[in-house]
């Protein structure tokens, strides 16, 4: 359906697996696939949080409107806004292919920027989803308690399952 926003709801967790791959959770895979028109995930860094942002290709069409809105908000608030710098940040997303099972390789520089080692926590955020290193998430303040608790629970389940293999 053209023009409708693609919404990411839910959460998931992935351990680093064989061939240096993580798995995009089922909660997000169909939406990314539909938004991109193929098995392609866009990833970039978040502008304020120590995590990554994931979305499908269709979201790129929204960037110019978002830039204009952010600039207007900054002007109304009497703050500086560097539209060129912000555009440089959002248009520099990585296009990361994933297979039918959701397996993908996280680019090394994105992993380094987000402090990712061998675990990822995914959390829906409406028009995008966030991708966290659990350690970075656990360092956030108490307003992140629900996400931190969910991450710990999902991590414990995946680690227990991996231990049984």
Identify the structural domains of the chain with CATH numbers, from first to last.
11-164 (3.40.1550.20)
| pLDDT, greater one: 26 or 3 | 26
pLDDT tens digits, 74-132:
999 999 999 899 899 889 899 999 999 999 999 999 999 999 999 999 999 999 999 99
User: Are 130 and 150 in contact, with CB atoms under 8 Å apart?
Assistant: no
10-14 average pLDDT score: 97
44-54 average pLDDT score: 94
pLDDT tens digits, 14-47:
999 999 999 999 999 999 999 999 999 999 999 8
Q: What is the pLDDT of residue 1?
A: 41
Among 86, 85, 119, smallest CA distance to 16 is for: 119
> Considering the entire predicted model, what is its pTM?
0.90
Nearest 5°: phi and psi at 153? -65, -50
Helix 83-90 vs helix 63-76: crossing angle, to nearest 10: 150
Number of helices (H), then strands (E), in the chain: 6, 8
Please check the confidence at residue 165 and state whether its pLDDT lies above 60: no
């Amino acid at each position: 359906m053209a023009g409708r926003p693609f919404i990411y709801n839910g959460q998931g967790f992935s351990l680093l697996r064989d061939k240096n791959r993580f798995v995009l959770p089922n909660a997000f895979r169909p939406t990314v696939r539909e938004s991109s028109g193929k098995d392609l995930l866009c990833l970039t860094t978040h502008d304020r949080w120590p995590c990554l942002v994931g979305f499908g290709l269709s979201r790129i069409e929204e960037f110019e409107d978002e830039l204009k809105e952010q600039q207007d908000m900054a002007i109304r608030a009497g703050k500086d806004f560097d539209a060129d710098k912000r555009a440089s940040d959002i248009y520099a997303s990585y296009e990361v292919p994933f297979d039918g099972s959701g397996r993908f390789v996280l680019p090394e520089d994105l992993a380094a920027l987000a402090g990712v080692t061998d675990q990822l926590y995914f959390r829906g955020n409406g028009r995008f989803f966030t991708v966290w290193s659990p350690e970075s998430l656990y360092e956030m303040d108490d307003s992140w308690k629900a996400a931190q608790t969910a991450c710990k629970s999902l991590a414990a389940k995946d680690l227990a399952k991996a231990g049984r293999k």
